[in-house]
């Protein structure tokens, strides 16, 4: 039965893309891609065929030697523009010649000054959730999967990387032609492209790191344990089916911590902190190789199936590698982040539900940690009532049953009820999935690593500041839990003391810096302004940008300079991040 996706014009009853062969030319001067796509459908289709586009200039559409009639006949604020291809006869293949816009929301074009090397420009893509349509004409819904090949022509000495195997790089005078093959079917949101001065270092039998040469050695060291993560994940979830697991360390403007593009995970350079304390993000992106990439949400209304499952899988992986106390520590950090997101939306908001109607809503507008953490908590409650051994059997069967498929929330719940009869009598599924807020029967993170932090927080509430000997052995997530648990505002002299106590002026951990800066901003600690401006001008990860800009607009002392600050920094942010910050500023009347 066809899946109706509120975020796509496509109608799979008309036909479904099975494979695409691309030819791309990358033009940094005009900040555009010229592309030719040779599309193969699953079966011959006649009549109308709808593709999603946004800002793409279509030059021609043909099948064989026959020009096909087409038009852009519908436009929508969220969905973009509908490419309506009109087939008077049944065809199984199409050719579309197109050019992207310099404003393509999937593409971030970086000047040399925004890269580690400072000499060459850089291009990166981010297609999740519904941005692939600004890069390629496609059925931009996670319920459609396709294989692809690509040839990407770039100016030398630059090379390209994609969510595919790079089979060869040909030198063509002033250009390089990079060839790619992706033999496994992926949805459009996992289509990925990056172009820059890229080097590669293998760090395991199945994994390696791409980055600019200037940071390659640091990156290879930071992620050296990745092969061990893969091996542990296979013990939990079954064989790794994507053959290779490479990572690309991007310039700082990348808007997320990571993006699980198959065969080429994109990672923010803010993970390179010199102590491997941020590799839980790699655990998360790797876990997507089973939950998300292999078994995929059918629409963005079912996003929790991707992210809730993946946070659960990440925690199991961290537990196997670092131990349960450490995994629980991370759970506590993220739980506090989720509750803060619920506070921002309002605890009765639809956006706090795991599943709700998103018709007319851009998925980026409601993006938060809620589907991640509430989804994980729901699965943890199920595990707790049925027992881990039985739940592990369920996990394996779930992945095996739905691999390389997309499913809806109702599909999952039907499978759950079939495999674990009587589950509704033990877990309030209606409340967890379809009602707002956070259920009271959620399991609380518990760890001896947390106990010490909570004691220090309780002491602070009684007027006792922590001393160096109290916190000298703390891990970075413990400091994060402490900072997230602090009352707000606090006396400005406490802001200065905590910054020095935790060495946050010297820290490379942006998680800690962001939590501390938010406390300082809302407390009116004005000396922090230069540090905040430095961070906002040097990173593009929305995990940091959004809480900092929210704090700045909500605080009287910083409100007057936040808009000029954003205008100074916006050129270094990805278009997705720019849109998110503009929403924050406009909602505050700035």
- Of the candidates 161, 267, 289, 163, the one whose C-alpha atom is nearest the C-alpha of residue 223 is 267
Number of neighbouring beta carbons within 10 Å of residue 363: 19
Q: How far apart are CA 248 and CA 252, in angstroms?
A: 12
Residues 181, 222, 485: CA angle, nearest 5 degrees: 115
Q: How far apart are CA 275 and CA 338, in angstroms?
A: 26
Q: Is 285 a catalytic residue?
A: yes
- Burial label, 496 (beta-carbon count in 10 A; 0-12, 13-18, 19+): middle
Q: Which of 81, 222, 260, 285 is catalytic?
A: 285
DSSP secondary structure string, 417-471?
A: HHHSTTHHHHS-HHHHHHSSS--TTPPPP--HHHHHHHHHHHHHHTT-PPPHHHH
Residues 6+ apart with CB under 8 A from 422: none
Q: How far apart are CA 510 and CA 516, in angstroms?
A: 10
Report CA torsion sign: 11, 14, 17, 18: positive
Contact 84, 50 (CB under 8 A): yes
Contact 545, 580 (CB under 8 A): yes
Phi, psi of 215 (to 5 degrees): -120, 10
Phi, psi of 444 (to 5 degrees): -85, 135
**Span between the terminal Cα atoms of the chain, in Å:** 46
Query: CA-based diameter of the chain, in Å?
Result: 80
Contact 195, 158 (CB under 8 A): yes
Contact 282, 265 (CB under 8 A): yes
Q: Which of 39, 189, 312, 372 is catalytic?
A: 372
Contact 41, 12 (CB under 8 A): no
Q: HSE-up of 355 (CA within 13 Å, CB side)?
A: 19
Residues 227, 233, 237: CA angle, nearest 5 degrees: 150
Q: What share of the chain is helix, strand, coil (3-state, %, to 5)?
A: 45, 25, 30
Q: HSE-up of 11 (CA within 13 Å, CB side)?
A: 11
Could you tell me where the DSSP H helices lie in 140-274? Answer: 216-222, 226-237
Number of residues in the chain? 590
Rounded to the nearest angstrom, the gap between the alpha carbon of residue 384 and the centroid of all alpha carbons in its chain is 28
Contact 427, 442 (CB under 8 A): no
**DSSP 8-state symbol, 56:** P
User: Which amino acids are annotated catalytic?
Assistant: 285, 372
């Amino acid at each position: 039965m066809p899946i109706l996706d509120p975020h796509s014009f496509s109608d799979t009853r008309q036909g479904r893309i099975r494979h695409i062969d691309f030819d791309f030319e990358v033009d940094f001067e005009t900040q555009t891609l010229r592309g030719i796509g040779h599309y193969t459908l699953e079966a011959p289709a006649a009549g109308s065929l709808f593709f999603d586009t946004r800002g793409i200039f279509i030059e021609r559409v043909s099948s064989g030697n026959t020009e096909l009639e087409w038009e852009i006949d519908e436009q929508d604020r969220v969905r973009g523009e509908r490419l309506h291809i009109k087939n008077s006869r049944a065809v199984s293949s199409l050719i579309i010649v197109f050019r992207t816009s310099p404003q393509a929301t999937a593409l971030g074009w970086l000047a040399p000054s925004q890269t580690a090397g400072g000499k060459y420009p850089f291009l990166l893509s981010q297609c999740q959730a519904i941005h692939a349509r600004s890069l390629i004409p496609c059925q931009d819904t996670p319920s459609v999967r396709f294989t692809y090949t690509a040839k990407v022509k770039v100016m030398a000495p630059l090379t390209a990387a994609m969510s595919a195997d790079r089979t060869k790089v040909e030198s063509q005078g002033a250009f390089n032609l990079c060839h790619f093959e992706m033999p496994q079917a992926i949805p459009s949101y996992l289509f990925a492209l990056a172009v820059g001065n890229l080097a590669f270092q293998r760090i395991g039998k199945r994994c390696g790191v791409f980055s600019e040469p200037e940071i390659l050695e640091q990156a290879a060291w930071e992620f050296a344990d990745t092969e061990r993560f893969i091996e542990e994940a296979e013990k939990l979830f079954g064989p790794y089916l994507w053959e290779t697991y490479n990572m690309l360390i991007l310039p700082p403007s990348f808007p997320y911590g990571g993006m699980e593009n198959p065969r080429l995970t994109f990672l923010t350079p803010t993970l390179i902190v010199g102590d491997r304390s941020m590799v839980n993000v790699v655990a998360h992106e790797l876990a997507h190789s089973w939950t998300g990439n292999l078994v995929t949400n059918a629409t963005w209304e079912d996003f929790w199936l991707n992210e809730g499952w993946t946070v659960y899988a990440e925690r199991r992986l961290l537990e196997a590698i670092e131990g349960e106390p450490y995994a629980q520590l991370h759970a506590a950090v993220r739980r506090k982040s989720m509750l803060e997101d619920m506070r921002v939306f309002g605890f009765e908001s639809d956006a706090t539900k795991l599943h709700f109607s998103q018709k007319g809503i851009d998925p980026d507008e409601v993006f938060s940690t809620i589907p991640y953490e509430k989804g994980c908590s729901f699965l943890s409650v199920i595990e707790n009532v049925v027992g881990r051994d039985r739940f592990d059997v369920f996990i394996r069967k779930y992945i095996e049953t739905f691999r390389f498929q997309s499913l809806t929330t109702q599909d999952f719940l039907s499978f759950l009820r079939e495999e674990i009869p009587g589950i509704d009598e033990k877990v309030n599924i209606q409340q967890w999935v379809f009602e707002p807020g956070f259920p009271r029967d959620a399991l609380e993170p518990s760890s001896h690593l947390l106990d010490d932090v909570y004691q220090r927080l309780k002491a602070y509430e009684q007027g006792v500041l922590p001393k160096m000997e109290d916190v000298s052995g703390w891990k970075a997530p413990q400091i994060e839990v402490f900072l997230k648990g602090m009352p707000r505002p606090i006396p400005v002299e406490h802001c200065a003391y905590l910054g020095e106590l935790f060495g946050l002026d010297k820290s490379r951990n942006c998680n800690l810096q962001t939590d501390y800066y938010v406390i300082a901003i809302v407390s009116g600690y004005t000396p922090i302004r230069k540090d905040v401006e430095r961070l906002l001008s040097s990173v593009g990860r929305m995990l940091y940008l959004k809480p900092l800009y929210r704090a700045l607009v909500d605080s009287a002392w910083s409100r007057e300079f936040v808009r000029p600050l954003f205008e100074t920094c916006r050129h270094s942010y990805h278009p997705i991040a720019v849109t998110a910050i503009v929403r924050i500023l406009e909602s505050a009347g700035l």
